A and B are shown apart, each in its own frame.
Chain A
Amino acid sequence: MSSPSPATLLSLRVNGEPVQVAVQPHHTLLEVLRYQLDLVGSKQGCDKGDCGACTVQVDGEPQLGCLTLAIHAHGRDVTTVEGLAAKGEGGVHPLQDAFDRWDAAQCGFCTPGILMSAEALVRKTGRPVSNGEVRSALAGNLCRCTGYTKIIDAVVEASERMAAGDGAESANDASSSPSQAAE
C-alpha cells in the first residue's frame, strides 16, 4: 500500500464555518473539499488549471482548487458553491436565480466554478456589468454546452438586479406562469 505521508491538521473556514481536517501535504484543496469534506459542488474537469470547473474563492478571490495545495488553505476563508446561496436572500443568490431563469446551466458541470468567478466580479464591481466585463472575468472558466450566451445574459441581469437592490424571484412564481420569451 502507498505509504501515508504525515498528515497535517488544517484549520480554515469553509463557507463561513470553522473546519479542521487532517490533510496530506501532496493533496490539493479540491481533493480535500470533494473527497474529505464531501463538498462535491466544486468539480474536477482537467485537474491542472485548464478549465476552471474547480473554481472556489479563497479570501474572496476566485482561485483554482486543483492547483491549490490544501496546506495553503490553512487559516484562510474558503467559499465554495455550496456557500453561495447564503450570500443571497431567501436561500438563493441572485446569480443562481438568474442562471435558473435564463437556463444558463445546461449540464451544470462548469456552473459552480462559473458562479464563483461571476460572484467575485459582481461583488467587486458593485454596479451593473457589461457583456465585455463578463467575458473577461470568466475567461478562465470553460463551458462546453451553452456557447456562453445565456451565461453572459444571466450575469449581466443579476448584476442589474443586485445594483437595483432586487433579490431573486420566487422560483415558484416563475415556473407557475411561464412568460413568453421576448425576442
Chain B
Amino acid sequence: MPDDSHSDSTDDASREMWQLGGTHRKVDAMERMRGITRYTDDIKLPGMLHGKIKRSPHAHARIVSIDTSRAEAMEGVFGVVTGQDFKIPYGIIPWTPDENALAVDKALHVGDGVAAVAAIDEDTANEALAAIDIEYEVLPALFDPEESLASDVQINPYSRKGNLSKKVLLEFGDVEGGIEGADLVVEGEYFFEGTTHAAIEPHCAVAFVERGGSGGDDGLLTVWSATQVSHYLHRELAKVLEIPAHRIRVIQPPLGGAFGGKSEPFDLEFCVAKLAYKTGRPVKILYTREEVFYSHRGRHPMRMKYRTGFDKTGKIKAVDARTVLDGGAYSSFGLVTTYYSGQLLCSPYEFGAYRFHSRRAYTNKPACGPKRGHGSVQPRFAIEVQLDKAAVELGLDPIELRRRNDMGDGAKTVNDFQIGSNGFLECLRRVEESSDWKDRRGTLPFGRGLGVAGSTYISGTNYPIYPNDMPQAAVQVCLDRSGRARVFSGANDIGQGSNTMLAVIVGEELGLPLEDIRVLSADTDLCPVDLGAYSSRITLMVGNACMQAAQALRKKVRQSVAKRWEVSARRVTLAQRKAIDIEDPDRHIDIAEAFQMAEEDHGLLGEVGSYNTPKDRHGDYRGGTIGASPAYSFTAHVAEVEVDEETGVVDVKTIWVAHDCGRALSRRIVEGQMEGSAYMGFAEALMEQHIVDPQHRGVHPAPSLLDYRIPTFLDTPELRALIVEAPDEQGPYGAKEAGEGPLHPSIPAIANAIYDAVGVRMDELPFTPPKVLAALEQRRAREAAGEIAPHKGSARRIA
C-alpha cells in the first residue's frame, strides 16, 4: 500500500508468505458439514410465531378494500399487517425509493405482497391468509418494456417519468466518425433473457423485540436475516419502521447462497419486525421456493442493438450500443444497472469511441436487480459475439483479434476509468494453451467447436450506494494472551469464503493457524460497519482494512519480542504459531508468549483498520463515478461444445476459465469462485429463463426448481480453473476480485463455440434446442439455395 500508515517500519514484506496463496480449510466449513451451523431458518426462539405473506394474484391491481378482521379474530392468530403499516417507501438506491414493504394502494406483479400474518404455526397462518378479504380492481398490465415505455398506464406510483425507470446516454469520442471510417462494421441485435439466482436457501428472517432492557420500553429490535447487506437492511428498517438505528440490531446468520439475490431489503424483513412489535413475540417468515421467484431481483432481460466498427487489422474503432432493460415493477438497483449496462464494457479492449444509450422500463413483473456480474453480463455477451463475427469477417483468429485490442496495464478506458494491473493477455495465453486451441480449433469436425471470450469486472465500486466520505470497510482485530485472534468484520460471508479470507490475512501477519482465529461477522452490534457482499468488493476493501489492522498488531508484537531479545525488530518474524529470529531460527517462542510481551508493553492488543476507495480514478462527467473501481479483474474463457445438428442440443464439454484475480489469497477458494461462476454462466447460456406468461395474466410459468431448470451434476461441463495473478497495488497483497468476473465470458464463449461447431449465430439467450435447431434449419436452407457455402465444408447427413 502506498500509504505509510499501512507499512511496517521494520519491513519484512519480502518474507516468504506462509499462509497467503496456499490452500485452506475454511474457518466455518466443518460445522456446515456436520449440520451444526445455524442458518436463519434453523433459529428457534421461545414463543416464536410463524408469519406468512398474502400475495397478489393479479399482475396489476388497485386494492379497493382490504378487510383483516376475520383473520385477526381467529384463534392462534397474533397479528396482521398490511401496506397501511408501511407507508414509507424504501429502495436500495437512495434516489429511487419506489417500493413499500407491502402494497399500499396497488399490487404491481403477480406475487407482490399485500398483507402478512403471524400465527401460532404455519397451518394457522395459512388459514388466516385465506381469511383476509381483499377487493381488487384489476388494471391493465404491461409485460413488454417497449410497450410499457409507450403506454399511458403508469405502473409504479412513485415514478416521476411514467414507465421510464432510468435513461442514460453517454458518448465518448466521435462514434459516427469511427463507424464511417471503419473497414468493417458489424451490426447485431441481441436478446438476453432474464434469469434468477436460485440460491438453494430460500430467504428467511426472524425478529424479536426485547423490551425493558437496553432498548428501554420501546424495545431493542433484533432481526436475523438471510441477507447479504446487513448494513443497508439496518438503515432501511430504521427508515420504514421509524425506529432509531441504535435500537435495531441486524444479524446475518450463515447464509445458504445469495449471488445478488439477497442484496437489498425484502418484504419479509419488514413484516417480521413489525409483527414482532405488534405481537410481543419472536416472528419468523421463511419464503416458499415459489416466493423466492416472486422476490427475484435477478438478471435484467436486455434487448441490445450493437454497431461496432473495426479497421482491417481488427482494431475496434467505435462501438455504438442501444439497450432496453426490462426492469420489472420496482427500481431495485436499476439506476446502477442502467449505467452498468454501458459503463462496464470499456475494458479489456480499447474502444476508439463509444456511445451507449440505455433505457430501463417498468413492467408488471417481479423486479430485476443484481445477479452475479451485475449489469454487465448481458452487454458482455453482445460485444464478445460482435468480436467473434468481426474475426470471421476479417479472417483473424478470435484470440488474436482480442490480443490486438488489449489495453494493457495502467491504461485509461474510453470512459475515463483508470485500469491498474491487467493480466488479460496472460488469461488469453492460458486458455489458448490449455484448450490446445491452436492445434485443435481448425481441425475439429463439423458439430464440434471451440469459442473464446474475454471480460473485465470491478473489485468493488469507488463510491458507496449512499453518498458519504466515511470508510467503505473497517475491521477490528484483537489478540489475546492465549495466542489467539478475534476478527470483527461487518462484511457478509455468503458462502464465498470472505471470513476465511480475513483469517488468512490475520494468520499470515500474526503467525497464526486459521483455527486460532475467530471471525465474527455481519452483526451490527458487534462489528464495525461494512457495506456488504456486492460488487465483488470484500476481498479488496475489507481485505485492505484487515491487513492494516493485522500489520499494526504485527508491528507491536515484533517490537516487543525484539526488545526482549535485544535485536532489531527486522529479525523477528511471526509464523507457524511462533515468533522466530530470522537470523537464528533456533531461537523462537510460542506466539502466545509473544502476544503476552506485547500486551505487557501496550495493554490490550486491539487494532482497527479501515479502507476507503481512491476518488481520482473515474471520469469527470455525470455518471462518471458509476462503475469506477479501485482495481479490475480480467477473465478469458474457451468453451468446447458439441452440437447435435438433428436435435439442436448443445453439449458443453469443457470450459477453461483463466482469471486474473491479482493475487490468490487462498487458491482453492479462488478456484471455487471461478468454477461456480463458469457454471452459472453456462446455466444461463443453455437453460435458464425467468419470465412471466403474458397469455396467462402474467404468472411466472415456472416458479419451482423443477420447472426453472438449473443444471445438475450430470449436465455441468468439466470446468478447468486457471489462476492468473497480476498483482494490483490497490489490492491487499495485490488481490482483486474472483467471484463475479469469471461468469461473464461463459455465455459468449459458448455462443462462439456453437458458431465454430455448426456455423450458426445464437444472438438470443438461452440457446435452447428448439432455437438452435431453427437456426440450423435456416442455415441449411441458405446453403441449399447456394447463398452460403457449407460450414466447415461439411457434407450433411440430413438433406
Contact = CB atoms under 8 A, between A and B. Distances in A.
B232 interface: no
B35 A39 contact: yes
Contacts of B429: none
Contact of B676 (A40, A46, A106, A112): A106
Contacts of B577: 176
B706 interface: yes
Given A140-B712, A178-B24, 13 more contacts: A43-B200, A50-B289, A102-B668, A107-B258, A108-B495, A136-B714, A144-B680, A149-B718, A150-B671, A150-B675, A171-B25, A175-B24, A180-B667
A138 B716 CA distance: 12
Interface in B549-593: 576-577
Contacts, number: 217
Interface in A91-116: 92, 96, 99-103, 105-112, 115
A30 to B, nearest CB: 12
Contact of A147 (B30, B200, B704, B719): B719
Contacts of A72: none
Contact of B712 (A40, A139, A177, A181): A139
Nearest to A117: B713
B251 interface: no
Pick from A96, A105, A115 the residue with the most CB of B within 10 Å: A105
Contacts of A48: 289, 704, 706
B500 to A, nearest CB: 9
Contacts of A110: 200
Sorted from nearest, which 5 A-B pairs have the closest CB atoms? A41-B35, A178-B22, A107-B495, A1-B76, A109-B256
Interface stretch (A6-14, A57-65, A79-87): A79-87
10 contacts: A48-B706, A100-B33, A102-B668, A106-B497, A108-B495, A135-B714, A147-B675, A152-B713, A176-B513, A179-B23
Contact of B34 (A85, A109, A134): A85
Interface stretch (B100-108, B119-127, B630-638): B119-127
A110 B33 CA distance: 10
Q: On chain B, which size bracket covers the interface? A: 35 or more
Contact of B254 (A108, A139, A171): A108
Contact of B515 (A38, A99, A175): A175
B35 A42 contact: yes
A121 to B, nearest CB: 12
Interface in B482-508: 494-497
A26 B514 CA distance: 45
A157 to B, nearest CB: 13
A114 B677 CA distance: 20
B138 to A, nearest CB: 30
B259 A144 contact: yes
Contact of B713 (A1, A51, A85, A135): A135
Contacts of A174: 25
Nearest to A136: B714
A19 interface: no
A129 interface: no
Contacts of B680: 144, 147
B33 A46 contact: no
B785 interface: no
Interface residues of A, number: 67
A28 interface: no
Interface of A: 1-2, 34-35, 38-48, 50-51, 53, 80-82, 84-85, 92, 96, 99-103, 105-112, 115, 134-136, 138-150, 152, 171-172, 174-181, 183
Interface stretch (B38-46, B157-165, B351-359, B440-448): B38-46
B713 A139 contact: yes
B495 A145 contact: yes
Contacts of B44: 35, 38
Contacts of B139: none
Contacts of B366: none
B46 to A, nearest CB: 13
A146 B256 contact: no
A146 B288 CA distance: 23
B21 interface: yes
Contacts of A142: 200, 705, 710, 712
B25 A115 contact: no
Interface in B173-202: 197-202
Interface string B12-40: 00000011011111100110111111110
A82 B719 contact: no
Interface in B339-371: none
B296 to A, nearest CB: 15
B30 A100 contact: yes
Contacts of A35: 44
B679 interface: yes
B691 interface: no
A147 B716 contact: yes
Pick from A1, A43, A142, A177 the residue with the most CB of B within 10 Å: A1
Contacts of A41: 34-36
Contacts of A96: 30, 33-34
A103 B23 contact: yes
Given A35-B44, A176-B513, A106 B289 contact: no
A2 B705 contact: no
| A interface, over-half SS | loop
B719 A109 contact: no
Contacts of B494: 107
A71 to B, nearest CB: 17
A178 B722 CA distance: 19
A77 to B, nearest CB: 17
A144 B25 contact: no
B255 interface: yes
A82 B34 contact: yes
A172 B256 contact: no
Given A41-B36, A144-B198, A181 B121 contact: no
B474 interface: no
Nearest to A96: B33
B668 A45 contact: no
B713 A138 contact: yes
Given A41-B36, A45-B200, A141-B713, A181 B23 contact: yes
A181 B706 CA distance: 37
Nearest to B286: A44
B153 interface: no
Contacts of B515: 171-172, 175
Contacts of B30: 92, 96, 100, 171
B29 A175 contact: no
Pick from A48, A109, A146 the residue with the most CB of B within 10 Å: A109
A112 B497 contact: no
A99 B19 contact: no
A172 B513 contact: yes
B669 interface: yes
A2 B123 contact: yes
Nearest to B668: A103
Contacts of A136: 713-714
B511 to A, nearest CB: 11
Contacts of A40: 35, 38-39, 41-42
Interface in B706-751: 706, 710, 712-714, 716, 718-719, 721-722
B678 interface: yes
Given A112-B35, A175-B513, A43 B256 contact: yes
B716 to A, nearest CB: 5
Nearest to A101: B25
Contacts of B671: 103, 150, 181
Contacts of A135: 713-714
Interface string B756-775: 00000000000000000000
A171 B721 CA distance: 25
Contact of A115 (B22, B33, B37): B33
A146 B289 contact: no
B705 A81 contact: no
B75 interface: yes
Pick from B26, B200, B672, B718 the residue with the most CB of A within 10 Å: B200
A53 B39 CA distance: 13
